[in-house]
Amino acid sequence: MSGDKLLSELGYKLGRTIGEGSYSKVKVATSKKYKGTVAIKVVDRRRAPPDFVNKFLPRELSILRGVRHPHIVHVFEFIEVCNGKLYIVMEAAATDLLQAVQRNGRIPGGQARDLFAQIAGAVRYLHDHHLVHRDLKCENVLLSPDERRVKLTDFGFGRQAHGYPDLSTTYCGSAAYASPEVLLGIPYDPKKYDVWSLGVVLYVMVTGCMPFDDSDIAGLPRRQKRGVLYPDGLELSERCKALIAELLQFSPSARPSAGQVARNGWLRAGDSSIPAAPSTAQAQCTRARRASVLPRSRHAPLRTRIPPFSCLWTARAVVAPV
């Protein structure tokens, strides 16, 4: 029996494709059993390389089966068929954080703080359970229809990890969100990698721009070492800037733990000094995002989608002096 026919018999009606990778795609579906809309990730193991089938996919499935958190996507069931396809039925989302930033220019007011607190709480939960994500980015943060609740998704590079001295040597993720040690090919603490990525996510949320120009990956660590700058005229609280600076520390040991991030004073205070309306600085970022050639400016444009590294990516190819 074909996978699609089996899904039909189980009460699923497949809809449009909302995401696609080398050997998987995500489709919207309606479910009689769950009385509503779901998302179904279709993984074709016949097309995938052995390293994915034997290493990365089992890790992802193990994480998805074990996690239970209000801000991590919930999986309803796994359906395996004899033709090599695997169907992962999970919560559907109205949109993601990247799309919200692109629509709004940036995330306004206290909403940015509230959403980031949820993201940080989910990462803290993972780290407390000795799990890491390793591909945190705006595209992997799903949002509810009212854009007030988040769900982390896509654990394709997730794994068990106990932190230092349990180091990783798989240089994976997405370059724009990757920490310096990952880009430089240095064995790394994956928990501190997640913390760096949180800093990039927060910067994008409150500015609408990427913190670093990643058009030249070889030079990215050098730019990361210089630290972030902000668009002129952007109204942003010093406590928020201080948190971003802590998250984007060049040295992994100087970054806070996920637990410390979740307890940060800015996330607990009623500080919402991020203007709701786009400023002149935001308009400049928007124009930069639309440029066909990436400008050599201090603020990198926000691209539509950030491609992930190959999990066999060789970091030595991008080593640059810092």
Task: Report the C-alpha gap between 43 and 34 in whole angstroms.
Answer: 21
- Catalytic: which of 135, 189, 194, 213? 135
**Is there a contact between 36 and 30 (Cβ–Cβ < 8 Å)?**
yes
Quote the distance between the C-alpha of residue 5 and its chain's center: 33
Q: Which residues contact 201 (CB under 8 A, 6 or more apart)?
A: 97, 116, 119, 136, 137, 138, 141, 177
Task: Report the C-alpha gap between 271 and 249 in whole angstroms.
Answer: 23
β pairing state of 131-132 and 95-96: unpaired
Task: Report the C-alpha gap between 80 and 102 in whole angstroms.
Answer: 36
Indicate if 135 belongs to the active site.
Answer: yes
Q: Which residues contact 229 (CB under 8 A, 6 or more apart)?
A: 298, 299
Q: Two tokens at 145? A: 């229809």
Question: Bridge-partner residues for 89, per DSSP?
Answer: 40, 77
Q: Two tokens at 206? A: 């409150």
Q: Is 32 annotated as a binding residue?
A: no
Q: Hey, how many other C-beta atoms are within 10 angstroms of the C-beta on 165?
A: 7
End-to-end CA distance of the chain: 56
Helix (H) or strand (E) holding 46: none
For the annotated binding site for ATP, the residues are: 41
For the annotated binding site, the residues are: 41
Residues forming the active site: 135
